[in-house]
């Protein structure tokens, strides 16, 4: 069962022609980034540099090592910085 990849509307507008949802097979975020980069060359770097990721609601930095469980929702949102 693949992971459901979701982007914000703004991110999708900028980089994926408005398409917000994808399904990819990946065991970790590296696999997700590679799959998305294959679909949209250059997108992997944008995801690494500009986003925080929520895997089933849990926020993480967008690092290759994060495991992606089967059927997970992987939501990329703009990175948050605090005070």
Q: Residue numbers of the site for another protein (CB under 8 A)? A: 6, 8-10, 13, 49-50, 54, 56-61, 63, 65-66, 73, 75, 77-83
Residues 6+ apart with CB under 8 A from 41: none
Euclidean distance between CA atoms 1 and 77, whole angstroms: 23
* Least distance from another protein to the Cβ atom of residue 27, Å: 16
Closest approach of Cβ 59 to another protein, in Å? 6
**Helix extents (H) in 29-81:** 29-39, 43-50
State the number of CA atoms in the 13 A half-sphere of 34 facing the CB.
9
Minimum separation from the CB atom of position 25 to another protein (A): 21
Pull the structure tokens for residue 35: 């799959």
């Amino acid at each position: 069962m693949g992971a459901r990849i979701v982007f914000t509307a703004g991110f999708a507008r900028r980089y994926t022609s408005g398409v917000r949802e994808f399904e990819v097979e990946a065991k970790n975020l590296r696999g997700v980034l590679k799959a998305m980069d294959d679909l949209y060359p250059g997108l992997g770097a944008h995801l690494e540099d500009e986003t925080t990721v929520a895997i089933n609601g849990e926020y993480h930095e967008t690092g290759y090592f994060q495991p992606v469980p089967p059927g997970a929702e992987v939501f990329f949102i703009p990175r948050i910085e605090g005070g």
